[in-house]
Structure 1
Amino acid sequence: MTQNILDQVQALQLPDKVIVAVSGGVDSVVLLDALIKTQPQVEFIVAHVNYHLRPQSDNDAHFVAEIAKKYHVVLRKVDWQGIDQGSVEEAARDFRYCFFEELANEYATNTILVAHHANDQAETILLKLVRGGKLSQLSGMQPTRQVSKTVQIVRPLLPFSKQRIKLYAQQHRLEWCEDSTNADSAYTPRNLIRLEILPRLTTINHKAIEHINQTASQIMQQEQMITMQATQYLDDIMQSQKSWGDIPEIWLSAVLSIWLQKQKIFNIKQVQIDNVKQLIQNTHKTYGMIQINHQYQVVKSYQNLTLESRLQNSKSSLDFPEFMLKLNQWQINGHMQFQWTNQKPLSGRFIAVHSDHDIDQVTMRRAKTSDKIAIKSGHKTMKRLFIDNKVAHDERHQSLIIEGNGQILAVRLRDDHWRISDDFIAKQDSQPNYWLLWRIEE
């Protein structure tokens, strides 16, 4: 049966140099031994972390150093200087993987080998199940996982049980260190599962660990299929073939997750995804926003979604201060040039205004939702005008008002789309006598 381990390791396609995580326990010792026996052309760099959490930690470090000498491989070790706030297990994991990645970059390799096995996988899945989270987390650890653009974690022993790994060590007469804390079920939640829960589950079915891992594999395959279909829905949205409101409810969570991941937003809680779903499905609310982390929010405008900085909307009028336009003078505001004139333009961008009174200067400013513009039947607020013309919320802060003689003459809803006040539209028997010109400053 130990031949299966050798075959699995020999089949690995490895680069010239590889980082191997070795704690001194039986799993990592077996992994290193199998690698040395089956991959003689590869240069292995043994990486060891001394956490100083147990009296035997220094002995383990010495043991790993002796193994490195035995196999004639490079040893790189590091000491963990202290315990961070929160979970010791989580802090230690973060520390060692940072160390492994640093070594991978130093030795110009893209591969880090670790010795996780089938029992570890079952423990991880049960922990995830108990703690709650997304279904995808129940797929467990993957045989290969990309941890950065240039570095991957590879787990060759994942198909093998702890029992088979120990049998390999015994048959090949290997020595290893026993971690005394592994025998304490109160030390970590993982220990409790390892020492008490999994053994009891195997009394129900001796293949309990194997079956848990098979279920995880099925979940992983289902997740891959879900990702493929959700990506297709997202592509349809990006190509304007569908809107968010067209996506079946059962697919919305998956599509939203992929959309956020493509924008480098990760680790979003399900409750936030659910809030965005409710916002999409609320057909009575054309605009809304959901905060997803300290930096970003998802903004709905009609059936469009955008990801915006939380500071973005606070800049609504700061980049375009109110200013006066004098007759027949070009003036600059930001990247735009404007002119209020009584001389009919022959070309360019302009709007025409008719007035029975002289308007020698006008004021230009950002529009407010409470502003009112004259229409045939009375007045309409800017808020209503935005809705009727389907002006997206992220475009509304760019809308401009021009005022003259205390009245709103016109409003720019978006880009070159202007709405003239009905009080200043030239009638059939009259001609416009003022024009507003604008152009992009070169």
Structure 2
Amino acid sequence: MELDNRIIGTVRKTLKKYQAQKVLIAVSGGVDSMVLLNVIAQILPTDKFGIVNVDHDLRPESAAEVKFVQDYCLKNDYQFFTTKWLNKPNDDIGMEAAARKFRYDFFEEVMKNDNFDTLLTAHHGNDLAENILMKLIRSGNAYEVVSLKERRDFNKKQIVRPFLDFAKQELSEYADIHNIKHVQDETNFANVTLRNRLRNNIFPELQKENGQLLGHFRFFDQQLTALIELAKQQFLQIEHLMELTENNQQIVGLIKPILTLNQEQQTLFWGNFFTKRRLDITVSNRQINQIIEIIVGNDANASVNLENSWQFIRTYDQFVVKKVQTQDLRELKLQLDQSVKFDNKQMTISETTDDESLAWNKKPQKITLRTRRDGDKLLISNGQHQKLSKRFINEKIPGYERDNYLVLLFDNQIVWVEKIYNMGDYLKKGNKHYKINFVEVKE
């Protein structure tokens, strides 16, 4: 009876705490989720909860497990929602992540269509401890370590986990007392996955050392979560001072505000920075250390390669997180009075009588538009030349932008570089004069 009161009381208190009005319970048919369903049925009327089950069709038993849950719901007149995963990836790599995405996409669809405000899952104290240890083994990232929260946002709804204060053994004991039927996933006992090896081999030994182990993991999780929330408040202030501009292709900000933190605090800052933006990359501890090195270093232009063609770039007093497009240095052949487009830029070259325009001795036989190349040189005063790379530095053009600048050539001689060079500024004499009309097209 004492166990009943604790479990039911905790769930009731949790629902009230997060103002859950109409809940969707994720029920696999296993002991944990069947206990959760039993408890909710004692707390809420049947029109205030529903049950959802997804058949991933990855094990021979999955169809029978769905039928078990469905029959239980029919018998008790509970709302029941289910679907089957049909379009699975061919490769086993990433199968677990793909299955999870399909599952939660379906949860979201059901919640939206039937006005559920809260998704309940039966994650318990053992799951929390396993999750913490798995994340410590795989990354050590503090934000990932506390990723299994009692509550989190879920696409304008919420996910709530009311069993985190209870051990798996307590839920099993409750099920035995109340004769709650459930299915058993035999794959949980196969030491194929890291989670199963921890569950079956490591945690039983750790609990022999201290029976309060799960409570300590829960306390650690709560403390670390509180510390991270405090840190995030300061990090928000720093991000405000960074004057960030961002879209799905790049993020630009000032470096100076981050320098108020020491290097250990910067590690936490960048972990939070990348985690909350959900870019299509995972930034490792090693990469974060490299980012900090170039932030605090003296090199005005430096970069760190990230995943999926992303780069972290320091350029003078700014940083840029950018998805780098491969620059193929292609060329376009131009004709006079022909309007051409190069990416999002348009250009027209026309003959003119304006003496202040670009001068050339004769009509060019070959007009070429391209991007920069190693060894490019610019003609300046008194027949001298300057390297284009030097001009970029003098003009403080960020390194990550230089490969996108357009270069115009008459008969293989550079006569113009986008925004920073026009031979007409240095060479005034010539039989022919040409006007360059250049515009950037805002997309």
TM-score normalized by structure 1?
A: 0.75
Identity %: 24
Q: Residue 197 of structure 1: CA displacement?
A: 2.6
When residues 21 and 383 of structure 1 are mapped into structure 2, their CA distance, relative to the original with a 3 A threshold, is: same
Query: CA 1:198 to 1:228, structure 2 compared with 1: closer, same or farther past 3 Å?
Result: same
SS state at 2:339 partner: strand
Aligned partners of 2:91, 2:24: CA distance in 1, in Å? 26
Q: Please point out which of 415, 423, 427 is paired with 1:424.
A: 427
Q: What whole-Å deviation, never above 9, does each CA across 1:292-311 have from its counterpart, x for those lacking one?
A: 21x54444444434344443
Instruction: Give the C-alpha shift of residue 68 in structure 1.
Output: 1.4
Choose which of 126, 129, 132 in structure 2 pairs with 1:122. 129
Shift in CA distance, 379/68, structure 1 to aligned 2, threshold 3 Å: same
Cα deviation digits, residues 202-253 of structure 1 (max 9, x gap): 2322211100121122222233233333333333222698426963443444
The 1:188/1:333 distance shift into structure 2, 3 A limit, reads: closer
Give the aligned partner of residue 37 of structure 1.
Answer: 42
Aligned pair count reads 416
Q: Would you say 1:157 and 2:156 are equivalent positions?
A: no
Deviates more, 1:117-126 or 1:305-314: 305-314
Contact 1:185-1:196 within 8 A present in 2 as well:
no
- Against the structure 1 CA distance between its residues 436 and 255, is the aligned structure 2 distance closer, same or farther, given a 3 Å change threshold? farther
> Deviations 1:39-84 (Å, cap 9, x if unpaired)?
2274322223456777876664454234313432122344567996
2:281·2:306 contact (CA, 8 Å) conserved in 1? no
**Cα distance between partner residues in 2 of 1:60 and 1:218:** 38
Distance 2:64 2:440 in 1: 72
> In the aligned structure 2, how far is the partner of 1:152 from the partner of 1:29?
21
Contact 1:291 1:297 (8 Å CA) reproduced: yes
Distance 2:307 2:129 in 1: 32
Q: What is the TM-score when the length of structure 2 is the normalising length?
A: 0.75
Partner residue in 1 for 2:249? none
Aligned-pair Cα RMSD in Å: 4.2
Displacement of 1:139 after TM fit? 1.4
Distance in 1 between residues matched to 2:23 and 2:145, nearest whole Å: 29
CA separation of 1:436 and 1:200: change in aligned 2, threshold 3 A: same
Measured at CA, do residues 7 and 267 of structure 1 come closer, stay the same or move farther in structure 2, by a change above 3 Å?
A: farther
Q: Does 1:379 pair with 2:405?
A: no
- Amino acid paired to 1:379: H
1:341 aligns with 2:356: no
| Contact 1:84/1:91, CA 8 A, preserved across alignment | no
Q: How do 1:131-146 residues align onto structure 2 when only pairs under 5 Å count? A: 131-146=138-153
Residue 153 of structure 1 deviates from its aligned partner by: 2.5
SS in structure 1 at match of 2:50: strand
Over residues 243-279 of structure 1, what are the superposed CA-to-partner deviations in whole Å (9 max), with x where a residue is unaligned?
Answer: 2696344344444455556764144130444444445
SS of equivalent to 1:85: coil
> Matches of residues 4-403 of structure 1 in structure 2 within 5 Å?
4-11=6-13, 12=15, 13=18, 17-40=22-45, 42-49=47-54, 60-78=65-83, 85-86=92-93, 93=100, 96-147=103-154, 149-169=155-175, 173-177=178-182, 179=184, 181=186, 184=189, 186=191, 188-238=193-243, 242-243=254-255, 247=259, 248=261, 249-257=263-271, 259-260=273-274, 264-270=278-284, 271-280=286-295, 283-284=298-299, 286=301, 288=303, 290-293=305-308, 295-311=309-325, 313-314=327-328, 321-323=332-334, 325=336, 332-334=339-341, 335-343=346-354, 351=356, 359=362, 363=367, 365-366=369-370, 368-369=373-374, 370-375=376-381, 378-393=384-399, 394-395=401-402, 397-401=404-408, 403=410
List runs of 5+ in structure 1 lacking aligned partners.
Answer: 345-350, 427-431
Alpha-carbon distance change, 160 to 84 in structure 1, aligned in 2, over 3 angstroms = farther
Which one-letter code corresponds to 2:148 in the other structure? M
- 2:8 corresponds to 1:3: no
Report if the CA contact (8 A) 1:245-1:280 is conserved. Answer: no
- For the pair shown, the structure with the greater C-alpha radius of gyration is 1
Q: CA deviation at 1:93?
A: 4.6
In structure 2, distance between residues paired with 1:127 and 1:260: 20
